Amino acid sequence: MSILITGGAGFIGSNFVLDWLGQSDERVVNLDKLTYAGNLENLASLQGDARHVFVHGDIGDFTLVSRLLAEHQPRAVVNFAAESHVDRSIHGPGEFIQTNIVSTFHLLEALRAHWGALEGEARSGFRLLHVSTDEVYGSLGAGEPAFTETHRYEPNSPYSASKAASDHLVRAYHHTYGLPVVTTNCSNNYGPYHFPEKLIPLMIVNALAGKPLPVYGDGQQVRDWLYVTDHCSAIRHVLADGRPGETYNVGGWNEKTNLEIVHTVCALLDELQPRTDGRPYREQIAYVTDRPGHDRRYAIDARKLGRELGWKPAETFETGIRKTVAWYLDHRPWVANVLSGSYRDWVKKQYGD
């Protein structure tokens, strides 16, 4: 048996692959385009492990995906592949439309053709799990209840609009063609292997480098944080027992303002790696121009996942953020390779030309 993972060299995808193979011997075929966000160094511990088959390619390549489905006959596909950074989507939405909408459509077409020809248990047990985000629901006011699965879609950035479009396509392929899909909408993840252009790793890396810690606007925007391996365990639950056609919200009940996050990171660094001048890291905070169209608050109501599938997160924010800061302190070479861009040489070093 095997599963096909897309985007498995990115932040959440690589955590998922490592987590999966840490608990199961079921083979993982990992299809990733290796954009700037794809880093095979995250998977270095799997070097020579026959349970991991890496394929360099695009989910939008119908011929390649069809070949992989025919060759490996995976019992499930988990689709992590996406352009994922809101700020990049504001500077250049084109790649987001291409990957998150057009390439997802080609992936769905390949899956429709493959699944349509399956029979018996291979057909009834097959699943596509589409990994999505809470950002499709738009922004909440201060007193409003957290997003449930029936909250209306109201995406505000090119990123969230492109993810919303992919969610709708996935839904339509279930409704129209019967493709057995499940969708997860998760809140902000953090943890190891997070690319240091996102808030938490950026703050850790900049703090250690003595650089400013850029806080957008007033820093009072609220995000709902989930440790990445808890997201991985939620996906395993949904893959195992989620009902086809359903969506499941995933979140850690950890609403924090961005400023609280930055202060927490600074305090942990003060404790674990004090500045040589003895001053607190929070002195490096710099308020900068706000993100255009910045969503004020996200909050996820994850009760359906708990009630129906028995999932609950293992980490509190306090345990997860401490582990995260410690991981970055223990993995300086990984950070240095990402910052210098030399992580891209890994493919060549590992696999030759």
Supply 224's token pair. Answer: 């709902």
Measured between alpha carbons, how far is 81 from 79 in angstroms, rounded to an integer? 6
First to last CA, the chain: 30
Q: Is 59 in the site for ligand NAD (CB under 6 A)?
A: yes
343 is known as an active-site residue: no
Q: Is 100 in the site for ligand DAU (CB under 6 A)?
A: no
- When CB distances are held under 5 to 8 angstroms depending on the partner's kind, the choice from ligand NAD, ligand DAU, none that residue 34 binds is ligand NAD
Q: Which of 9, 21, 200, 321 binds ligand NAD (CB under 6 A)?
A: 9
Residue 210: CB minimum distance to ligand NAD, A: 26
159 is known as an active-site residue: yes
Question: In angstroms, what CA-CA distances link 243 with 167, 306, 328?
Answer: 16, 14, 37
Supply 286's token pair. Answer: 């710099």
Count other C-beta atoms under 10 Å from residue 340's C-beta.
Answer: 10
Q: Is 6 in the site for ligand NAD (CB under 6 A)?
A: yes
- When CB distances are held under 5 to 8 angstroms depending on the partner's kind, the choice from ligand NAD, ligand DAU, none that residue 42 binds is none
144 is known as an active-site residue: no
Measured between alpha carbons, how far is 353 from 347 in angstroms, rounded to an integer? 8
**Residue 14 in 3-state DSSP?**
helix
Query: For 276, phi and psi rounded to 5 degrees?
Result: -65, -25
* Binding segment (CB under 6 A) for ligand NAD, from list 188-196, 232-240, 253-261, 270-278: 188-196
CA angle, 240 then 241 then 244, to 5°: 105
Q: Is 215 in the site for ligand NAD (CB under 6 A)?
A: no
Q: Which of 93, 82, 12 is nearest to 293 (CA)?
A: 93
Which residues are registered as beta bridge partners of 30? 5, 54
Instruction: Give rounded-to-5 percent helix, strand, coil for the chain.
Output: 50, 15, 35
Measured between alpha carbons, how far is 27 from 5 in angstroms, rounded to an integer? 10
Q: Which of 223, 236, 263, 297 binds ligand DAU (CB under 6 A)?
A: 223
Q: Is 86 in the site for ligand NAD (CB under 6 A)?
A: no
Catalytic residue among 41, 58, 83, 135: 135
* Binding segment (CB under 6 A) for ligand DAU, from list 34-42, 54-62, 102-110, 130-138: 130-138
Measured between alpha carbons, how far is 229 from 138 in angstroms, rounded to an integer? 25
| Residues in 289-328 that interact with ligand NAD by CB under 6 A | none
Which residues are registered as beta bridge partners of 188? 225
| Residues in 145-204 that interact with ligand DAU by CB under 6 A | 187-188, 198-199, 202
Contact pattern for ligand NAD over residues 147 through 186, marking x by CB under 6 A: ----------------x----------------------x
Query: For 80, phi and psi rounded to 5 degrees?
Result: -95, -20
Residue 153 · residue 183 · CB < 8 Å: no
Q: Which CB sits closer to ligand DAU, 67 or 294? A: 294
Residue 258: CB minimum distance to ligand DAU, A: 4
* Binding segment (CB under 6 A) for ligand NAD, from list 77-85, 168-176, 305-313, 320-328: 77-85
Interacting residues with ligand NAD (CB under 6 A)? 6-7, 9-13, 31-35, 37-38, 58-60, 80-82, 84, 99, 103, 131, 133, 163, 186, 188-189, 195
Interacting residues with ligand DAU (CB under 6 A)? 84-86, 133-135, 187-188, 198-199, 202, 214-216, 221, 223, 258, 291, 298
Residues with a catalytic annotation lie at 134-135, 159
